[in-house]
Structure 1
Amino acid sequence: MIFLFAINPVSGGNDKTSWEEGIRNHFADTPHVIHLFHLNGKTDDTTIRQQIEEHKPDRVVAVGGDGTIKLVATALLNTTIPLGVLPAGSANGMARELGIPPDVEGSLALLTDGVPRATDIISINEGDICLHLSDIGLNAQLVRYYERNNLRGKLGYLRGVVKVLHKRRLMRISITVGDECVQRVAFMVVLANARMYGTGAVINPEGNPFDGQFEVVIFRRLSFWEIIKLFWRYRPFDPRKIEIYPATSVTIETHRRAYFQVDGEYRGRITTLKAEVKPGAVQILVPEEK
């Protein structure tokens, strides 16, 4: 088989030398062919497609975090080429969700031993996709602060939480799911194609990226300690303070512009969000079900 590795050298603020060495050592005595290339954050969409066209791989592997996975998955949408994942980012939320081993050897073994599984995506505003979790409001504001201050690791998240808590604001929102429209005042609304954030905080217990739907999670009440539990001590929110709506499509409108992020990447401030599920749009290598 031919493996193509897309390596994000800055994902998670970690040096990827050990991952590259692990890839080369793992495949050194095998008949498989490997090609490695680095992403640069500027021409990645074009570069990934050019590499796929040039090498015609049997499997394309994202080496990085959730943003890297999403970038490579976008190039593989509606193709038969499976996506492999080496979780070399900081949080690695989607890799955790899919049961991909966090270590170099374990995740490398999955590239040959794993099975491709048709995985849903969420199409957002007809120009973006979400594999994992997107949201408007408080967490998106945290992502913005985290990116702008070039923070990494747990301490970075904690500093961001403290900063964002001082500026948190309720949003007046209108949410239409199917034939139902609800008006709410909330701190955050999440489009969840999975169960948990990369921190391990379970915000959507019934989430399943293979079930042909996603969930709209509305956070109506928050406190300082609940935020700390979510982002620092890795505990779920009190379920009595959230609402969860299963959906195949949703329209969200906010009274004022709200912070918005997709799979851990800040997208700006918006007043309207339209999303719909695309069932089984990308094949991802996951552990074989027992």
Structure 2
Amino acid sequence: MKNNIILIVNPISGDVDKSELIDAATAFAEKENLNLVIYNTSGISDSDNIKVLYNTYTPQRIIVAGGDGTIKMVAEAMEDHDVIIGILPAGSANGLAVDLNLPSTIEENLEIAFHNDFMEIDMISINGKKSIHLSDLGVNAEMIKNYENSSIRGKWGYALQTVSTLIDLEDPFIATITGDFPTIECEARMIVIANSQKYGTGVSINPNGVMDDGKFELVILKNMDLVVLGKIITGNMPIDVNDVEIISTDQAFVTTNIPVSFQIDGEYCGKETKLNIEILPKQLKVAVPNPISAII
């Protein structure tokens, strides 16, 4: 009997056609004598439909062709099941794939997604919502809101909205952050809740992030002038505490003096004034390149 593999495809992620990827995955499964079940997301009852598919086929792996939002949706649907998730990067930025050092070719990613060993990564709960990668308050979330409302997709679209957002930059907000560390009260342009190191654009925002250490980082960007932004984009995170402060913890509470734009894993979630944050250790089995040590 053939082993079952479910392929979840987000047809609109990244605004790119998925037919080549689906054909490649189908051919790979046939070569490996696997029964590939393909499901295209529609935005309607996807989580429930994926649960039904799992109960019908009981696969050991589910492959996701989409971005971080699609991966998170599948992970949440499978939270009560022992299943390995393989990733075929097909979103606008593919942040988790970047942090996992997944290769650039479909052929290499198929091998990893279908066959490679896995690591168990943490997730983060933020006001009861789960994050697998990077979430934030402030400038980047505002940029994502603008990006979602624009017609230009991909990295070029992100770049255009970054410039536009910085030109229209509002005053900083005041944040109070409490936890198992001295209380912090400061002006901030952006607060990142990081389970990993890099945005999908390749920009490193949390150089010491580890996805399976039982902790997350709060990266507090107090200053976002062009000099600081340039350092971040070129991979040289500022070390001046007047510009950036990083806290590693497993629980924190953030309040702001005004409603601030907020995003989770690249999805704009509106404005918030309070964030209750805690780590959820080893929530997700993800197929990774070998050796695993290359990504931590």
1:10 aligns with 2:22: no
Q: Secondary structure at the match of 2:31?
A: coil
Is 1:201 aligned with 2:203?
yes
Over 3 Å counting, the alpha-carbon distance change for 1:255 and 1:199 in structure 2 is: same
TM-score, length of structure 2 as denominator length:
0.92
Is 264-273 or 221-230 further displaced after alignment? 221-230
State the distance in 1 between where 2:208 and 2:184 align: 21
Change in Cα spacing, 1:228 to 1:21, as seen in structure 2 (3 Å) is farther
**SS of residue paired to 2:36:** strand
Q: Distance in 1 between matches of 2:149 and 2:229?
A: 21
Partner Cα distance (1:244, 1:157) in 2: 25
1:82-122 Cα deviation digits (max 9, x unpaired):
11111111211101111222321111101333112211000
1:76 aligns to 2:78 (yes or no):
yes
**Is this contact kept in 2: 1:78–1:281, CA < 8 A?**
no
From 91, 96, 116, give the equivalent of 1:89: 91
Alignment check: 8 A CA contact 2:231 2:238 kept? no
Q: Does 1:140 align with 2:155?
A: no
Consecutive unaligned residues in structure 1, runs of 5 or more: none
Q: 1:78: how far off?
A: 4.4
On the 8 A contact 2:155/2:201 being kept in 1, the answer is: no
Would the aligned equivalents of 2:262 and 2:270 in 1 still touch at CA under 8 Å? yes
Q: State TM-score, norm by structure 1.
A: 0.94
Higher mean C-alpha deviation, range 137-146 or range 89-98: 89-98
Moved more, 239-248 or 111-120: 111-120
**8 A contact 2:60–2:82 mirrored in 1:** no
Specify the code of the residue in structure 2 equivalent to 1:154. Answer: K
Retained in 1: the 8 A contact 2:92–2:155? no
Q: Distance in 1 between matches of 2:151 and 2:179?
A: 36
Deviation at residue 75 of structure 1 after TM alignment: 1.3
Alignment of 1:29-44 (within 5 A): 29-44=31-46
Deviation at 1:159, TM superposition (A): 2.0
SS at match of 2:196: coil
Alignment correspondent of 2:262: 260
The residue matched to 1:207 in structure 2 has which SS?
coil
Q: Distance in 1 between matches of 2:203 and 2:130?
A: 22
Identity of paired residues, percent?
Answer: 33
Give runs of ≥4 in structure 1 deviating > 4 Å.
none
Partner in structure 1 of residue 238 of structure 2: 238
Q: Is there any run of 5+ residues in structure 2 with no aligned partner, and where?
A: none
For the 8 Å contact 2:254–2:275, the answer to whether it is kept is: yes
User: Which moves more between the two structures, 255-264 or 176-185?
Assistant: 176-185
Specify the alignment match of 1:105 in structure 2. Answer: 107
Q: Which moved more, 1:248-257 or 1:86-95?
A: 86-95
- Which residue is equivalent to 1:273? 275
TM-superposed deviation, 1:164: 1.0
Give the Cα–Cα distance (whole angstroms) in 2 for the partners of residues 80 and 50 of structure 1: 15
